[in-house]
Structure 1
Amino acid sequence: MSAPAPGAGPRIVTVVHAAVTRPGRDPAHLAHLAAGAHLQAAHYTGMLRTAGIDVDPSDPRGGARALVSSGLFVTGSPDEIAGRLAAYHAAGVDEVVVNTAGVWLAEGPRAAVRDAEEILTCLGRGDATH
């Protein structure tokens, strides 16, 4: 993606936590690993509540479940995840950062890279399921 023209205004970038659905994986656990520290911060939980997601900084595990149920932590098949990420672009987001940190912390770097590669392959093919 090329840089915006001078004076074009700021770019919109978002980080999206994601994990491919696999046997034995608990998305809420992965979300907690990825965002647990943020889910204890008043400014972060305040932002989520403003967006309509019921979280409490005293309950980061409950917050992680809320991230999954709201779709902010994206999980599913690689093409389903790619579809969700493509929707961000359709809504005007310039750059989506796919963060598989929860998988990395639970299963290691190979598993996290595998998820990212599968998701990005689907995005690159343009065959994402919405």
Structure 2
Amino acid sequence: MDCFVLPGSILRRWSSGSSLRYRALEAEEGLYEAETGPVTVVVGKERREFLVDPFVLEESPFRALMDAVRKEGKGRAPPGSTKARNKGVIFVDVDAILFEHMLWLLRNDCSSFFELNVEEIIDFYAQES
């Protein structure tokens, strides 16, 4: 299942009645073509795709996750992917559940989200696989 993600603070500006901050993408929906639009993030061995606004990836825990993945050489575009060449897909080789959990924390404005020690969590998930 693919997801579209927006932090709660941005979504509240758009619609005060909606509590959704990410949604499943339909198969026939195309990816946003605009440079300022959402970024496709492909996560884990199962290559789950998330459509994420770029500023989400700049939030503290996501920035730490991206830095940790970059240091380990696990961040890249999926091999042979035309989307990767044409649309700037980000591949993050971490557990998809971890990534989705971080999105959930951001979506729910959990104060613990900004206190996450991402490196310890990555190590924990790496031991499980």
Q: Which has the higher contact order (CA 8 A, sep 6+)?
A: 1
Q: Which has the higher helix share?
A: 1
Whether TM exceeds 0.5 here: the answer is no
Q: TM-score, normalised by structure 1?
A: 0.28
